[in-house]
Amino acid sequence: MFRTIDALDVKGKRVLVRADLNVPAKDGKVTDTTRIDRSAATLTDLAARGAKVVVLTHFGRPKGREDKYSQKLLVEPLAKAVGKSVAWADDCIGPAAQAAIAALKDGDIALLENVRFHPEEEKNDPAFAKALAALGDLYVNDAFSTAHRAHASTEGLAHLLPAAAGRLMQAELEALAKALGNPEKPVAAVVGGAKVSTKLDLLGNLVSRVDYLIIGGGMANTFLFAQGKSVGKSLCEKDMADTARAILEKAKAANCRIILPVDAVVASEFAENAPNKVVPVDAVPDDMMILDAGPASVESIVGCLGGCKTLVWNGPMGAFEIKPFNMATDAVAQFAAGLTGQGKLLTVAGGGDTVAALAAAGVDARFSYVSTAGGAFLEWLEGKTLPGVAALEIKASGGCGCGGGSC
Ligand code: AMP
């Protein structure tokens, strides 16, 4: 259970909002404002209710104060997104921040300089967290994408001020809860991508949570190899065969059905439009590589999804960046999106290349929820506790979340 901004009385209060405005930029200009635009909902909501809104965020990976990571370039696109001017302070603590905040009227918004200009931020240094907390009356975390990090602005602050989840954080937590917390069954997971070794925790967690685990992408090759099949020149982590077999055993014990490709699209080289053919997975030629799942595999996956109520998706089914090896990813994604549109399947996806793969398939807006959170989404799929989320949780004993004495 967590408090949302609806539960906060914000009028006249200084509200510190940890947003994720870590957008791509080139030559001092923001090149994609998606994250800024998505953050506007929380900021405009608070401002409309008379809060003095103070935005905290990070930009890049500075080592101390580095001009090229100054957030000043965010002021203009942020002002555009929230439809009003945005004040600026060239530090996130101390006199500059204090002066900018003191000048705010109810309903105004200020952006403070990069929290990562202070190395204490990433160390979750108590004195730094206290210096941030002194600038506000309330704390709102709207940055799910950094919730897997216990930093001062993502975790420490929640213990020092009454805390709540912003709109984006709320949407993410609600979607994730529906997908794995308390999902409608049967639940399927599609896990694709390059390697088993990067997704061990994720696979280990999912086999005990889902009814069907559909494995695709390069990692399926390792499973096929572990089952004694020859995978030719395919990407395959042969040293992970024992691990793959252990995951298959764990799945069996947990009553989770693993669905592996039954046929594959193979080519001689990893290249766009490389000559290719479809073969059964036990007839992969020695001089060819698996680059996608074949049509019979897609049919079996689609058949499985047709009987499911919930789908969690991470990773492409094949080398989707090079045509035509996007076909299985596209076909399965489009089928899932169709079921979502008919209200038959809840679809939650995210992590790594998944967003790009679903966007390329033209279905990202047709899934129930696509998380852009990357690492935080993956850690959640792995079943890990995210410190930024845990700190927002309302303890069973009640209380405001400020840790005592701040409200
Ligand atoms: P990940 O970041 O682990 O989700 O992996 C995504 C990458 O896996 C993409 O770049 C895909 O091209 C790659 N991939 C998926 N299937 C295959 C395959 N059969 N062979 C080689 N690479 C693949």
pLDDT tens track for 85-141: 999 999 999 999 999 999 999 999 999 999 999 999 999 999 999 999 999 999 999
The reply to whether ligand 1 has any atom less than 6 angstroms from the CB of 156 is no
Confidence tier at 395 by pLDDT (50, 70, 90)? low
What is the predicted pLDDT for the residue at 351?
87
Tens digits of residue pLDDT in 291-329: 999 999 999 999 999 999 999 999 999 999 999 999 999
3-state secondary structure of 163: strand
If you measure from the C-alpha of residue 323 to the centroid of ligand 1, how many angstroms do you get, rounded to a whole number?
Answer: 13
Q: Which superfamily is assigned to 183-381 in CATH?
A: Phosphoglycerate kinase, N-terminal domain (3.40.50.1260)
Region 352-375 average pLDDT: 93
The reply to whether ligand 1 has any atom less than 6 angstroms from the CB of 77 is no
Domain boundaries, the chain: 5-169, 183-381
Distance CA 151, CA 90 (A): 20
What is the predicted pLDDT for the residue at 332?
98
Q: Which CA distances in Å does 165 have to 134, 139, 142, 174?
A: 20, 9, 6, 11
3-state secondary structure of 382: coil
| Higher local confidence (pLDDT), 366 or 407 | 366
Region 177-184 average pLDDT: 92
Region 389-400 average pLDDT: 70
297: nearest Cα among 197, 400, 184, 216: 216
5-169 classified as CATH 1.20.120.450 = no
- Domain 5-169 shares a fold with domain 183-381: yes
The reply to whether ligand 1 has any atom less than 6 angstroms from the CB of 193 is yes
Q: Which CA distances in Å does 141 have to 64, 69, 153, 205?
A: 23, 22, 8, 27
- The reported pTM is 0.90
Question: Which of 235, 263, 268, 312 should be mutated for ligand 1, with most atoms under 8 A from CB?
Answer: 235
What is the predicted pLDDT for the residue at 394?
81
> Cis before residue 295, ω within 30 degrees of 0?
no
Residue numbers annotated as active site: 35, 195, 352, 375
Residue 322 CA: which ligand 1 atom is closest? 12
The reply to whether ligand 1 has any atom less than 6 angstroms from the CB of 388 is no
Region 231-245 average pLDDT: 97
If you measure from the C-alpha of residue 343 to the centroid of ligand 1, how many angstroms do you get, rounded to a whole number?
Answer: 30
Distance between first and last Cα of the chain: 20
3-state secondary structure of 258: strand
- What is the average pLDDT value for the chain, to the nearest integer? 95
Region 178-187 average pLDDT: 94
